[in-house]
Amino acid sequence: MKKTLVLTLVCLMMIALVVGCTKPEPVAPVTPVAPTEPTEPVAPTEPVDETAGTVVIGVYEPASGDNGPGGKQETLGIQYANSITPTVEIGGKTYNVELSIVDNQSSNDKAVSAAQQLIAANSSVILGSYGSGVSIAASDTFRDNGLAAIGVSCTNPNVTAGNSHYFRICFLDPFQGTVLASFAKKQFGAQKAYCLAKLGDDYSVGLVKFFRDAFGEENCVSEQFPDGTSDFSTYVANAKAQGCDVFFSPTSIEAAQLIIDQIATIGGLPILAGDTWDAPQILQAAKDKDVEIFVTTFYHEGGAPEFDSGFKAWLNANPTALTNNGGTDTIGAVSALGFDAYYVALEAFKAAGSTDKGDILAVLPSVTYGAGATGAIAFDEIGDAFRNSAFVKKCDTESGDWELVALQTI
């Protein structure tokens, strides 16, 4: 047994010795494999990007000229709406909404050029303008290019009359003029009214006409001032000399500030004006002056608290926006209208299920928007919003704020 064990151990030792002394064969290097051609990616069944593209809303507003201050405030409402709702769902896809903003310079002569810029920007729908004259002047250009336009605060009936492409979300001047005439009689017992419009201006000339129709043309003294007028003392003196009970002048903000200064020097003549005077600059011009100012307008602060607080916070966080609002966070009614107009445009995209301008034009007559800051919006057969009330506000010259007098209908 011992002998067998010894022999086994000796054999194992010899085998180990042989294996340990054997030289290992070198390992053949690995030949690299040529890369294969990349395969074509498989098209996803759903979009992989967050947005499907960009849709353009053209903003046709004055940023300069007589109506520049009002146009900037209207644009601010549109920009604020875009800041909180920068996308829209169209046909099950999400699109970014881009604003293409063009200054029509408050000029009928510049209207077509401004409109053409918006067309070149591939706008699917137009918002604007502040100022009826420039809206009317650009109307045919929009029509000829198959574009729908949504007027924001352009109140002259001729903006939408006789066409199928221009819509609007505000009340009209025949209504506004009647409200103002009725207010003059009830508030002041007015027997005679002085009416001042700007020569060739569709808005002021038109609104004066509707006021006179309602008040009684035979009881009105009417004059018109030319473009570039800076001294209104002669007109104010004439109103006083004629024994007028009220001074009605639905002018631009720029002219309004000068008229306020002139009337403050004589006192005792209440001023009535339309929606263009509902602006922070009017409050600033009238502050601490001996004037009474009453305006008809589309909105009064407090009507939509969520909009009010959000818009003010946005203005105060944006120095440029605050400057364009006259350096204050007072809300002009046209800003609220601009805000609503943006959402009406979004509703049109949703209803059309398309970004095509022709599809937008086709659905707009039936578009409704029930959550507007200025109230629910729907269009009649002409393209005008159903509006049957106006806010009458008074300028508080001590506090520099607007005071709500009445929500008036006819």
122-137: per-residue pLDDT in tens? 999 999 999 999 999 9
Residue 195 and residue 239: Cα distance in Å, rounded?
A: 9
**ω into 335 cis (within 30 of 0):** no
Q: Annotate 276-305 with three-state secondary structure.
A: HHCCHHHHHHHCCCCCCEEEEECCCCCCCH
How many CB atoms lie under 10 A from the CB of residue 18?
A: 9
Whether residue 210 sits in one domain with residue 257: yes
- Residue 36 is assigned to a structural domain of this protein: no
Structure confidence at residue 222 as a pLDDT band (50, 70, 90)? very high
How many CB atoms lie under 10 A from the CB of residue 139?
A: 21
> What's the confidence (pLDDT) of residue 50?
66
Whether residue 274 sits in one domain with residue 203: yes
- Residue 144 is assigned to a structural domain of this protein: yes
- Residue 88 is assigned to a structural domain of this protein: yes
Q: What angle do CA 46, 52, 57 make, to 5 degrees?
A: 155
Q: State in Å, rounded, how far the first CA of the chain is from the last one.
A: 131
- Residue 147 is assigned to a structural domain of this protein: yes
Whether residue 323 sits in one domain with residue 285: no
Residue 348 and residue 353: Cα distance in Å, rounded?
A: 8
SS3 60: strand
- Residue 31 is assigned to a structural domain of this protein: no
- Residue 14 is assigned to a structural domain of this protein: no
State the total domains in the chain: 2
Position 236 pLDDT exceeds 70: yes
Tell which residue, 216, 177, 209, has the closest CA to residue 193: 216
What's the Cα-to-Cα distance from 21 to each of 14, 16, 17, 172, 408, rounded to whole Å? 11, 9, 6, 110, 114
- Residue 22 is assigned to a structural domain of this protein: no
pLDDT in tens, 62-116: 999 999 999 999 999 999 999 999 999 999 999 999 999 999 999 999 999 999 9
Whether residue 276 sits in one domain with residue 219: yes
Whether residue 362 sits in one domain with residue 401: no
Whether residue 397 sits in one domain with residue 277: yes
Position 29 pLDDT exceeds 80: no
Whether residue 207 sits in one domain with residue 167: no
Whether residue 210 sits in one domain with residue 87: no
Contact 113, 331 (CB under 8 A): no
SS3 407: strand
* 261: CATH: 3.40.50.2300
- Residue 3 is assigned to a structural domain of this protein: no
Whether residue 403 sits in one domain with residue 274: yes
Place of tokens 């340990």: 20
Whether residue 62 sits in one domain with residue 161: yes
Give the structural domain span for 102: 53-171+303-379
Whether residue 401 sits in one domain with residue 265: yes
Whether residue 315 sits in one domain with residue 288: no
> What's the confidence (pLDDT) of residue 246?
98
Position 20 pLDDT exceeds 60: no
Phi (first) and psi of residue 194, to 5 degrees: -95, 130
pLDDT in tens, 159-182: 999 999 999 999 999 999 999 999
β-sheet bridge partners, residue 402: 395
